[in-house]
Structure 1
Amino acid sequence: MPEGDAVYRTALRLRGALDGRVLTRSDFRVPRHATADLSGRRVLTTVSRGKHLLTRVEGGLTVHTHLRMDGSWQIMPAGRRTAPGDQVRLVLANEQWQAVGVKLGMVDLVRTSDEPRLVGHLGPDLLGADWDVREAVRRLRQAPERTIGEALLDQRNLAGIGTIYRAETLFLRGVNPWRRVGEIEDLEGLVGLAQRLLDANKTNAGTVTTGDRRPASQTWVYGRAGRPCRRCGTRISRGEMGAQPQERLILWCGGCQP
């Protein structure tokens, strides 16, 4: 699933293609909004909120989308046909550009005033103007018996982190993912590092946590299961965390994260 930095970059691309321009076409290919038509309305902006995207248009309306596992927004010249087989769920077009939402996991059209109903439950956004490390830590500490690995992925605690940044943050802090939240003294330092990692990658393609942008050298543990740790040589472990069917991939180094 795309994490907060990738969603942030998607919002940047949508703003570049749609902001300030009048829609000449909108095509909602979801039953709930199949008859909706935003033609003639000017797009105000698109913002990311954790892993959610909010495209605001004139008239107090917001198009809410979520990429989930396989979704993406493709920007292309207006009028160009999409590739055969693409599972297009939404098209927003103006005279110059069209934004094509493919395999979107969520598509909603709501009053802008109702946005809190969709994203109000989220914790502080790691890449948002509302980022508040103390509030994120406060939310984490509300469940001290929970594993830190599960707590970091709970978007109600902090919004935007996923399996990649969870694994990389915990490795860099030397914290085993199965440790309990209540056992970790410097939660503020851990959460602050996660925010800095996402912020460092928010305008760059790919995820780099090592400082080395070469394709095989960008991460410490993510994508390296069974390979030797870059620091201590211990083989990187792979497992799953969370209750079914919400379990998610976790990777860690048993030597560096005892």
Structure 2
Amino acid sequence: MMVICMFRNLICPPLRLSIRHQITVSARGMGKGRNHLPDRWTDYIPVGKRIPGTRFITFKVPLKKVYENKLAPHERFSPEDLIQAIQNQNEELGLIVDLTCTTRYYWPKELPKTLHYVKLFTAGQEIPNDEVIFQFKCIVKQFLRENSDNEKLIGVHCTHGLNRTGYLVCRYLIDVADMVPSEAIEKFNKSRGHSIERKNYIDDLMYGVTRTNSGLDKPRLLPPLATHQPHIPHTMDDETHACHPHPRQDHHRRHHHHHPWPHRYS
């Protein structure tokens, strides 16, 4: 079982899920229909505020219109609602990094065409692999380099915009921005409006080793962010199941495994 990152029309190196996670997520997803609401999704406010001194803003996953009949009007939160909510804060979103391990919640084509979108499939509950962490750092650093002349924000979300999101944002602030771990966590929690819940994430942020930044400042480590929307294969039905690679992606990996960085997916 593998997790992949899709960067526009590019495939990043595969990452393996542990056997324990494969069994856990598969069992949890049994008996649910494709369009069920994410667990506890309504328990969290939709959008936080910009983290002071950074370009980050975090939020829970927006849901496409097929979910609206399962929600009261005041509970609905669509991609359109997301854009409006951030504009209401007098901010502009420039990039979305989607960490959910599924494609069922919304389509990137629902977003404005000028908004960059990156899909970084990231398994929940477990500390992200060092490769996922490094990919996240690269994506953020590249966007900041290419947008040094503006104040556009980097929006990050998982399902609730809390645990995976909080971990990776704080990991960046600690490793790259040299922020004290306790300060990074406090700033994230206050800005999101909820606190990171999972102890393993908090413990790793507070006491874990700093992950490598070697090569992070190399220009064009990743191809330029495009303004068109990516094609994402419709193969991940539910985040409660482990991430499944698209057959063509799996073929691509098996026959090009020696390459360390993304290749064009045509």
Q: Do Structure 1 and Structure 2 share a fold, with TM-score over 0.5?
A: no
Higher helix fraction: Structure 1 or Structure 2? 2
TM range (shorter): under 0.3
Alignment TM-score, normalising by the size of structure 2: 0.24
Alignment TM-score, normalising by the size of structure 1: 0.25
Larger radius of gyration: 1
Higher strand fraction: Structure 1 or Structure 2? 1
